[in-house]
């Protein structure tokens, strides 16, 4: 458990540090690259809104009217870009080039961090706020097309563990509707730290990716259930607000990616902390979610037709839950969530007998997971030598962000239930 806590804290820090500029530590920066004036409204804008825009260099240009403000900044990818005011009180500013794909961002108006009124809003970095999609060379795989459509359905259900109604989303493939007697396999798919059950369908574009893959014959039709892996407080558990105390998950002296020094936490493990996220979510998944899905939907309710995957913290949850329940899931995926090691699996006879695909991925800019001895590629190689059907994938030129995870799902979905 100590190792798990340490790794999860590292991912939390990575996620948090990747998000927003902190003025005290990261002074505002000017845009230094010459800008090509071919800016177009972002696809993630609210209907009819011109800003934010993106140009062919993948720079983001934001604009807002704030006549009485003395400072307005565009806060994206850990930096705040100063914006400038025109004679009408309209502020405009442009970022450096961004990676392809989806990024959270916000505006800073005289010290207030607020959503940009031009963008649509997404849940991440522990808040609903602005997001922007930077066009990508491979965006076709997550673009809505006129192919047979499944649907993302909003689901409320009773949790016996938490004694309350919970909320999740289920993807049902087109054939669920057109072939009313057929039963389907199910993937349980989890989000990362600071995100919630909306992430995979909104930022992740799960339904669109699956509809396109199934239409091309590249994936078999299966159901996906997406739940909230951080909503895990049980009656009697301590208040999770404790988890949000200042400094939690923030970079420490442990290294460049902000991991904590290995060892006991000051004061020891905190009840209701990451142990809660792991153990309580495991209990909710096995007691409430899977039985509910298998009761309410036409599901092939056996191990060979059950998969679990997740991104970042959701990948850690996947690793922990599948190791602790080795005969429950035949297909396992960790996206930017670290790796399964030879130590994890060399004596795991039940896991090995059960597992049909073990998939590990990372963004190419997540160097510790993408390159070298700790990489997903090296881990897959080691696990193949143990006899596993292990796969790895590195998303070109992306970091710990949604483009990595869209691509990871796109790869993983083609491997499972076949």
Cβ proximity to its own copies: between 14 and 109 the closer is: 109
Q: Could you say whether residue 235 binds its own copies (CB under 8 A)?
A: no
Q: Which residue has the tokens 């930077």?
A: 134
Which has the closest alpha carbon to 363: 332, 389, 334? 334
Closest distance of CB 41 from its own copies, Å: 12
**Which of 30, 48, 263, 266 is the binder for its own copies (CB under 8 A)?**
48
Q: Whose Cβ is closer to its own copies: residue 121's or residue 411's?
A: 121
Give the shortest CB-21-to-its own copies separation in angstroms: 15
Helix (H) or strand (E) holding 42: none
Query: What is the three-state SS of 161-212?
Result: CCCEEEEEEEEECHHHHHCCCCCECEEEEECCCCCCCCCCCCCCCHHHHHHH
67 binds its own copies (CB under 8 A): yes
User: Per CB under 8 A, which of residues 240..269 are in contact with its own copies?
Assistant: 240-241, 244
Identify which of residues 71 and 378 has a Cβ nearer to its own copies in the complex.
71
Q: Which of positions 281-310 make contact with its own copies (CB under 8 A)?
A: 296-298
Q: Give the count of beta carbons closer than 10 Å to the beta carbon of residue 295.
A: 10
- Report the alpha-carbon distance of residue 391 to residue 410 in Å, rounded: 13
Q: Shortest gap between Cβ of 186 and its own copies (angstroms)?
A: 15
Structure tokens belonging to residue 253? 């002296």
Q: What residues contact residue 286 under an 8 Å CB cut-off, 6+ apart?
A: 325, 328
Report if residue 155 touches its own copies, rule: CB under 8 A.
Answer: yes
User: 271 by DSSP, 3-state: which?
Assistant: coil
**What DSSP designation does 115 have?**
-
* 298 vs 378 by CB, closer to its own copies: 298
Residues of span 308-327 touching its own copies by CB under 8 A: none
When binding is defined by CB under 8 A, the residue of 28, 57, 92, 149 that contacts its own copies is 149
Structure-token match 């993106």, residue found? 54
| 3-state secondary structure (DSSP) of residue 29 | strand
Q: Write out the residues near its own copies by the rule CB under 8 A.
A: 46-48, 64-72, 89, 107, 109-115, 117, 120-121, 126-129, 144-146, 149, 151-158, 165, 170, 172, 177-178, 180-181, 196, 201, 207-208, 231, 240-241, 244, 296-298
């Amino acid at each position: 458990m100590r190792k798990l806590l340490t790794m999860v804290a590292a991912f939390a820090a990575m996620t948090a540090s990747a998000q927003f500029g902190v003025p005290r530590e990261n002074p505002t920066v000017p845009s230094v690259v010459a800008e090509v004036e071919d800016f177009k409204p972002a696809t993630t804008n609210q209907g009819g809104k011109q800003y934010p825009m993106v140009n062919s260099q993948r720079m983001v240009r934001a604009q807002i009217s704030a006549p009485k403000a003395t400072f307005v900044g565009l806060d994206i990818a850990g930096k705040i870009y100063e914006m400038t005011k025109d004679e009408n009180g309209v502020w405009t500013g442009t970022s450096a080039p961004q990676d392809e794909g989806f990024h959270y961002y916000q505006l800073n108006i005289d010290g207030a961090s607020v959503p940009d009124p031009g963008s649509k809003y997404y849940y991440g970095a522990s808040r609903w706020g602005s997001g922007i999609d930077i066009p990508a060379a491979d965006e076709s795989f997550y673009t809505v097309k006129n192919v047979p459509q499944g649907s993302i359905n909003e689901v409320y259900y009773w949790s016996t563990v938490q004694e309350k109604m919970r909320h999740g989303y289920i993807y049902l493939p087109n054939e669920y509707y057109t072939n009313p007697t057929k039963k389907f396999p199910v993937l349980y798919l989890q989000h990362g730290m600071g995100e919630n059950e909306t992430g995979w369908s909104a930022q992740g574009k799960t339904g669109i990716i699956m509809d396109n893959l199934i239409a091309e014959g590249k994936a078999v039709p299966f159901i996906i259930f997406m739940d909230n892996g951080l909503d895990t407080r049980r009656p009697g558990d301590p208040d999770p607000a404790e988890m949000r105390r200042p400094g939690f998950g923030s970079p420490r002296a442990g290294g460049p990616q902000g991991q904590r020094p290995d060892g006991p936490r000051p004061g020891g493990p905190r009840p209701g902390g990451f142990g809660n996220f792991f153990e309580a979510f495991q209990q909710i998944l096995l007691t409430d979610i899977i039985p509910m899905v298998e009761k309410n939907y036409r599901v092939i309710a056996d191990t060979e037709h059950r998969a679990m995957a997740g991104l970042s913290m959701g990948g850690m949850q996947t690793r922990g839950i599948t190791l602790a329940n080795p005969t429950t899931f035949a297909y396992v995926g960790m996206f930017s969530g670290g790796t399964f090691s030879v130590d994890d699996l060399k004596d795991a006879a039940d896991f090995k007998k059960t597992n049909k695909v073990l998939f590990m991925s990372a963004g190419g800019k997540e160097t510790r997971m993408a390159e070298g001895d700790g990489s997903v590629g090296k881990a897959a190689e080691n696990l193949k030598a143990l006899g596993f059907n292990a796969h790895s994938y590195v998303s070109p030129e992306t970091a710990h962000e949604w483009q990595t995870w869209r691509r990871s799902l796109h790869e993983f979905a083609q491997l499972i239930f076949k």
